[in-house]
Structure 1
Amino acid sequence: MSWLYLALAVVFEIVVGVSADKADGFKHLWWTAAALVSGAIATLFLSLALLTFDVGVGYALWTSLAEVGIVIVGVLFLSQKLTWRAMLGIAVILTGVIGLNLS
């Protein structure tokens, strides 16, 4: 169940990233509200996941997977470019997450 909580926390954290971008510095009320609400929900699910995961591992998984997810959403839906440097960074992040999870 903790993996489901972590997955939901990651999904809502991706929503935070996209909403914060669309809020444009708090200029758009609904996007700002979406960022704040989804941030609270993401934190709730992270807290539930941390009942099982060590805090260092759980938080690292949450932030890293959300970061990769935001990059993917940006490329697929927000017309952002994926450079070889970004792909290298994603590979390094995923390698670190796998290594941390195996430790």
Structure 2
Amino acid sequence: MNWFFLILAGVFEMTGVALINKFNKTRNWKSFLLMTIGFALSFAFLSLAMITLPMGTAYAVWTGIGASGGAILGMVLYNESRSLLRIVCIGLVLTSAVGLKLVS
């Protein structure tokens, strides 16, 4: 269950990052509230995951999901660069997160 919580934390981290961009474009209370809820849920699920997972592993996987997911969402939703090198780097981050899971 702890890995499920960690994945949820990463998904909400991605959501929060995407909503930062939305908030910067619209600057309204609804965007701010959604962004805040996304990050609050991310931290809540990270905290639950860290009850049993080592802090270093949990934090690295959480940030890996958030960073990779944020970059992918940027490509899909905001037409950011889709260069091969960028995609390879995202793959490296995800591979590292999976590696940490395998050795933990």
TM range, normalised to the smaller chain? 0.7 to 0.9
Q: TM-score, normalised by structure 1?
A: 0.87
Structure 1: tracts of 5 or more residues without a match: none
Distance 1:76 1:102 in 2: 29
Shift of 1:29: 2.1
User: Deviations 1:4-35 (Å, cap 9, x if unpaired)?
Assistant: 11121111111100111111178232111111
Identity %, equivalent residues: 29
Q: TM-score, normalised by structure 2?
A: 0.86
Number of positions where the alignment pairs a residue of Structure 1 with one of Structure 2: 103
Report what 2:64 is aligned to.
Answer: 64
Please, which moves more after superposition, 84-93 or 54-63? 84-93
The structure carrying a bigger helix percent of its residues is 2
Structure 2: tracts of 5 or more residues without a match: none
Pairwise CA RMSD of aligned residues? 1.8
Please, which moves more after superposition, 84-93 or 60-69? 84-93
